[in-house]
Structures are given as C-alpha cells and as structure tokens.
Amino acid sequence: MRKGLVSTLFVFCFCPHLARADTPFPANCSVPVPDISGWETVQTSRVEFRISDYAVAYLGLDVEYAEYRNPDDPREFARVVSRHIPIIPARPAIKDRQLFRETATALYTQMVERNRLNELDEKTDPILFVRWRTKEDSRTGKDMKDGDVDIWFLRPSGECLTARNERVGVQFMTENVGNGKPRNVFVGVKYQVGDIYHILKVDRRDLVQLMGEGGK
Amino acid sequence: MTGYRFLAAVVSVSVFMGGCAGKGINIDPGNPVYKPKSEFELNYGFFITRDERKIFDEIVMLEEFGKFEKHFWEIRDTDPNTPENEFKELIDGRLQDIKNEIFGTDFDIPGTRFDINGGLKGDLARVYLLWGAPDPGNKERLPEGTYHTELMVWYYFDATGRPLFRFLFYQSFEGRMRLFRDHLPLLSWDYLFDPLSSPLRVISNRPAITSSEELANVWYELERDDPQWIFRSALFEFSPYTDWVMEGGNNKNRFGALDPPEPASLTAEKFKPTILGQPNIPEGTELFESGYHSFLPAYLRTSASPDNPTFLMLTILRKNLDWVKQENEAKPYATNLNIRISFQNKKTRKLTEFVSYFRFELSQAEFDKRDDKGELFGVSVISPLTLQYFDGEKLGPTLGEMMKQLEPGEYVVNIYLQHTITKKYNPWREEIVISH
C-alpha cells in the first residue's frame, strides 16, 4: 500500500431513508435527549477512511438534523453521530488492463457496498448528540451560535454523559502494522468529551488480513 | 486499384455473396420477431457471447426476444447505481458515429468510411464498436505503394502509455479495408521472406506472390514509407502483452480484443468485493441480542500495576451481551468474546500483542436474571491477566506472564473486545507505565 494514498474522507450522502429522526439514545441519561422525531436531515456523512486504493473502512454515520417544525424559528440544530459494525469492503485488483472492466467492477462494488451500508444504516447505535441554536449576527448578517451547546455522550461502559458547552474532540487514530517498523495506518476515530472517549475502530485482524492480501 | 485487384474483387464478392446465402436470421421474414432480431444482430452481433448466441439463435417469438434483449442489456450495464444503461448508451453512440461516418472528416485518417468497408459488419466497425475511436494522433493511413497495399493503423494505449493493441488494416482485393491477422510470431528474415508464410503476402498488392524477391520489394518499400515502424510494428505484434490476443481468449488468463466483451455484471461477480468485518452468524443460530446494534459496553479498570489481579479488569453487564442458545441443559446460553490487547512502547515503538478468547455460559435462571442490577446475576467479569494467549491456532503464555517480559517504560495500550459472531465491539486506548 502506498503511504500517500492513505487519506481520510468524509463523504457526504443524501440518503432518503435517513431523513427520519427517531434515533434512540440510552434511556439512562439524567437529562433526556430531546425528541427529534419529525426533524429533517440537513446532511449525512459517513465516518470512513481510506485504507488503500482498493479498500475503505466504514465506521458509522454522522447526521446533522435541523428543526423545521417551526417555520418561524428554524434555528435549532442537532448533530448525531452513530456507529455501526465496522466494515471494510475491499475490491480485488483487475490486472488485465481493461479500464472499462475495472470501472464496471468498481461500480458494481459500489452497489454492493451501498446495499450493505444501507442495511447497516438501519442498525446503528447513537453515541453522540449535540444540540445548539443559532441566531443572526446583526453586524455581519451571518449565523452565529446562540446560547448553550448541550451534549449527550455514550461512555464505553454504556452509561450516559451529559455536558454543556464542552468541546467535542474528534481524532483519527492510527496503529502500527509494521511489525517492528514504523508503519502506521488509520484504524479508527476517537470522539472525546472531557476525559471520556468513545472509539469507533476496525478490527485489527481485518486490517492485517487486508494488508496480507498483497499489501493492497 | 490495379487490374489484378479488380478481378480478385469480383471473384471474392461472388464467393462472399454465395457464402452468405441462407445465413443471418434463420427464420421466416414474415415472423414478427424477424425484424427486431435482424436489427439486433446487425447492431449488436459483435457483443453476443458464445453462450448467448446459443439462446439467440433459437429465438422465434417476439416475447422471447424481448426477454433476451432486456437481460442482455441488464447484465451489461456498467453502472448499476444509475437508472441509465451506460453501456447501451456507449454502444448506441458508437453506432451513431458509424452512421455519421465520423472518420470521413477525421484529421488523422480523412476519407475513411465505414459504409464502403463492410458497414456495421466490417472490420473497421467491429473494432470501433468494441473499442471506440483511438485517441487523436493514434491512427494513421499509409497510401498504396508500388508493392504494398494501402494500410491503416489504430493504436490503443493502456494507462501506462504502453501500446495495448495495434490494429492494422489493409485494403483487400475486394476493395475493403480488412483487419490484418497474420502476425509474424517472431522477427525472422526466414519467415518474413518465405513466400508460403510471410505476412507480407497479405499486404502486397499482387494477387500471388511466388518469390522472396517480391516480398523483399514489399519490405524495402515499407522501410522507406514507414521509418518510424508504426505500421511494421503492427505487422509483427498485435499486443506487447502476452495475455492479449486478437481473438479467441478465455476471459481468464487470455483475453481476445475482438471477442464479445464479458458482460459487466459477470466480470463484477468474478471480482466481487470482499467485505471484511461482517457478522458471522451460523444459520439456525438462536440468538438473544442486547439492545445495541454494534456496541458492546463494558467497564474497564486499568488501575494499579500488572501485578495487581484486577489490572485491566473488564466488567460487562450480561444484558449487554448477545447470547446464543446451545445444547447444554445446565448452561443453555453462551456468549463468546475475542479480546485483543496490544502494548506499544512509546519510546522504542515495539509492539507486543496478546489475543485471546473467552466464553461465558449461563443457566436458565442466570439468563432470566441477566437484566438484574445486582452484582451477582447481572455481571460477567473478565480478568485478562489470567487468560492464556490463543490466536485460534496456538496457545501461549498468559497476559500476566507476557507483561512481565515487557521492558519498563510508557506504553500505549489498545484493547479491542468483540463478540465472535455478531462482531459488536468496544475499543479502548489507554496509556500506562510499566515499572517492574
């Protein structure tokens, strides 16, 4: 695998089936998560990173909702990060130099991936819920944050953490796969609120298997 | 065209016409399927694979043809993610190009026409339909000389810039540009000037070559007219890649450039992606899942030192585990978890990995009380220090023993807890100091 090809991506998709906002959150939060049923999806991206030319790891979904119930005040927003079983679709390399075969195979792979991801989208666990409001800055005319930012976060233990105006850290994680050599690859994403973190990560054995298949 | 050529043309056209009698769509022209089937054959005949041909030739009803045509295009759609069939659009575009005689005003090969070269069933159309137009500058014509016939080459390059194919066309005696197929297997003067086997016979404008001298005349004229070996390269080699032939590939390790292309969906099936990380739940498994879809919550305790038995202790609420029903009266429920713990020395970067597996089993009473908040019934505890290394094949030392071998220092510890079949998981990353 070429190091230079390792990159992180957030690919935006607009999936109609995600345009629902009935995502559950652990019921044990001291402050209940706001009911966002009926909210509409502003945008959806996947939590993913590229492992090689032939493989991308998908870890979860990052969904931003906006409230449209009150047309006079569409200023309340919520962001939900959810996780699913991490998968790594790996496309085999075609070595017959027929570009159209490679292209067609890539597109069919895309379909298989999309179908599998659509299935996973139905089976996600929310781990982070952030709510905020905006108001118009009278000087610039642009939107600015208005008031507190409320956070609900799923601890690794399954308990709920609630916080207000804390920074939500997002950090890509690497691990060494060089067997003694300094070769690190992306393995996951770490979300952090205060000292508490929640990691989304691929199974290292899948990664090692992928690396073993010709260093793709 | 020379006098020889005209005579030969008359003879060959007669033979051609005679040979064609009774061929084509072998059904009654009054049959409603005759016209669409004939048109399909004319336009897309080069794309019908051998297996499809057997079916196509047997079609005598319009309904059968409709089904065949629908399936034919469905499996060729190069992008199943869109409602359009990109492959059909591509080929129909090329058909339109042929009808529009796009090479008539082409900068590289002006005056080249499909209609006088066999139309949709000619060699030019066949290459064009299968491969499209070569990029500008990659096709050239060489006018007829004293000894050689008119020639034309179409070069196709791969992504590395190396020629993938060199299609060489020559003007045959019936006046039509035909594809040169008699490539010399090796560059040998003996073969080149052998009147029986030389490829130069095909591109000579004499109807019969009987001597090496005549072949030498063709060659020397080519040397003069083709100093850059553009045409002569195509005479010797169709493709520098040994897995490419002009026709007669097997779609596995030998590919025929003029063979009907393998439908995209069949290629994709052969090269289908591997999706790593998928749950692996055996059929018939009776599974009692936790409320989570991907999460396996657990409390991790990292306090104290490796000598402390509670170091890296994991506590899991049983209600948060997926349980599988098993054939065991005393313990009818089981869950299997993989655990991987790696230690990376922050200074030396040395990685030490520990993997193991463990299994919890519950009686019916324990299972029924798995939601209890009480410590005794609702909780399962893992103490990895006492677990033995097991990677699925070989056993090794316990984690405690392994950790005693670690050099003192600061370590990044990665822990990955995963249900073996549902793949629900929980990772941690902690930093610890080991000082024996």
Does residue A54 surpass a pLDDT of 70? yes
Token code pair at residue B43: 């336009």
Chain A segment 31-60 residues within 8 A of B by beta carbon are: 60
Q: For chain B, give the secondary structure using H, E and C.
A: CCHHHHHHHHHHHHHHHHHHCCCCCCCCCCCCCHHHHHHHHHHHHHHCCHHHHHHHHHCCCHHHHHHHHHHHHHCCCCCCCCCCCHHHHHHHHHHHHHHCCHHHHCCCCCCCCCHHHCHHHCHHHHHHHHHCCCCCCCEEEECCCCCECCEEEEEEECCCCCEEEEEEEEECCCCCEEECCCCCCCCCHHHHCCCCCCCHHHHECCCCCCCHHHHHHHHHHHHHHCCCCHHHHHHHCCCCCCCEECCCCCCCCCEECCCCCCCHHHHHHHCCCEEECCCCCCCCCCEECCCCCCECCCEEECCCCCCCCCCCEEEEEHHHCCEEECCCCCCCEEEEEEEEEEEEECCCCCEEEEEEEEEEEECHHHHHCCCCCCHHHHEEEECHHHCEEECCCCEEEEHHHHHHCCCCEEEEEEEEEEECCCCCEEEEEEEEEECC
Can you give the length of chain A in residues?
A: 216
Inter-residue contact B184 to B235 (CB < 8 Å): yes
* ipTM value: 0.84
Q: Cβ separation of A199 and B272 shorter than 8 Å?
A: no
* pLDDT band at residue A175 under the 50/70/90 scheme: confident
Contact of B276 with chain A, judged by CB distance below 8 Å, is answered with yes
A contact test, residue of B87, B131, B165, B276 with most A CBs within 10 A: B276
Q: Which of residues 74-103 of A touch B (CB under 8 A)?
A: 83-92, 94, 96-101, 103
The answer to whether B306 touches B385, Cβ cutoff 8 Å, is: yes
Instruction: Give me the pLDDT at residue A44, please.
Output: 87
| Chain A residue with Cα closest to B316 | A157
Return the exposure string of A16-26: e unless at least 16 CB atoms fall within 10 Å of the residue's CB, then b: eebeebebebb
Among the partner-chain residues A92, A124, A159, the one whose CB lies closest to the CB of B271 is A92
User: Any CB–CB contact under 8 A between A15 and chain B?
Assistant: no
* Band (B222; pLDDT cuts 50, 70, 90): very high
Please tell me the distance in Å from B95's CA to the nearest CA on chain A.
18
A208 touches chain B (CB under 8 A): no
Q: Inspect the interface and report whether the beta carbons of B426 and A91 lie closer than 8 Å.
A: no
Does residue B366 register a pLDDT over 60?
yes
For an interface test with B, the pick among A97, A116, A125, A187 (most B C-beta atoms closer than 10 Å) comes out as: A97
Cβ of residue B427 closer than 8 Å to a chain A Cβ:
yes
The per-residue pLDDT for B98 is: 97
Asked if A87 lies within 8 A of B276 by C-beta distance, the reply is yes
Contact B436, B404 (CB under 8 A): yes
Residues A70, A92: Cα–Cα separation, whole Å: 50
Residue A198, beta-bridge partner list: A191
Kind of pairing, strands B151-157 and B139-142? antiparallel
Chain B stretch 46-85, residues whose beta carbon is closer than 8 A to a beta carbon of chain A: 78-81
Closest chain B C-alpha to A150 CA, distance in angstroms = 23
Is the pLDDT at A167 greater than 50? The verdict is yes
Q: Which residues of A touch B381 (CB under 8 A)?
A: none
* A156-165 pLDDT, tens digit each: 999 999 999 9
What is the amino acid identity at position B206? R
B375 or B227, higher pLDDT: B227
Tally C-beta pairs within 8 A across A and B: 158
Residue B381 to residue B359: CA distance in whole angstroms? 11
pLDDT tens for each residue of A115-148: 889 999 989 999 999 999 888 888 998 889 889 9
Tell me if B277 sits within 8 A of A202, measured CB to CB. Answer: yes
Q: Kindly report the nearest CA distance between residue A19 and chain B, in angstroms.
A: 20
Mean pLDDT of all residues belonging to chain B: 87
Interface probe, candidates A47, A61, A107, A123, chain B, greatest B C-beta count within 10 A: A107
Please list the residues that pair with B316 across neighbouring strands: B380
Inter-chain contact B277–A202, Cβ cutoff 8 Å?
yes
Residue of A nearest to B292 (CA): A125
* Gap between the terminal Cα atoms of chain A: 5
pLDDT tens-place string over residues B304-352 = 555 665 678 888 988 999 999 999 999 999 999 999 999 988 888 888 9
Do residue B418 and residue A203 have CB atoms under 8 angstroms apart? yes
pLDDT computed for residue A68 by the predictor:
65
The amino acid that residue B207 corresponds to is: P
Contact across the interface for B297 and A203, Cβ inside 8 Å: no
Angle, CA of A36, A37 and A41, to the nearest 5°: 70
A132-157 residues labelled b (16+ CB within 10 A) or e (exposed): bbbeeeeeeeeeeeeeebbbbbbbbb
* Of the candidates A43, A55, A131, A46, the residue with the CA atom closest to the CA atom of residue A93: A55
Residue among B273, B277, B295 minimizing CB distance to A206: B277
Chain A residues with CB-CB distance to B255 below 8 A: 96, 98
| B interface test, pick of A84, A160, A174, A204 with most B CB neighbours within 10 Å | A204
The answer to whether the Cβ–Cβ distance between A180 and B300 falls below 8 Å is no
Instruction: Tell whether A145 lies on the interface with B, counting CB pairs under 8 A.
Output: no
Condensed to tens digits (0 to 9), the pLDDT of residues B157-193 reads 887 788 889 999 999 988 999 999 988 766 778 888 8
pLDDT digits (tens, 9 = 90+) for B46-99: 999 999 999 999 999 999 999 999 999 999 998 888 899 999 999 999 999 999
Contact B81 A111 (CB under 8 A): yes
Chain B hits for A198, CB-CB cut-off 8 Å, are none
Beta bridge partners of B178: B170
In angstroms, the CA B436 to CA B405 distance is: 9
Task: Please tell me which of the candidates A109, A154, A157 has its beta carbon nearest to residue B273.
Answer: A109
Contact criterion met (CB < 8 Å) for A190 and B429: yes
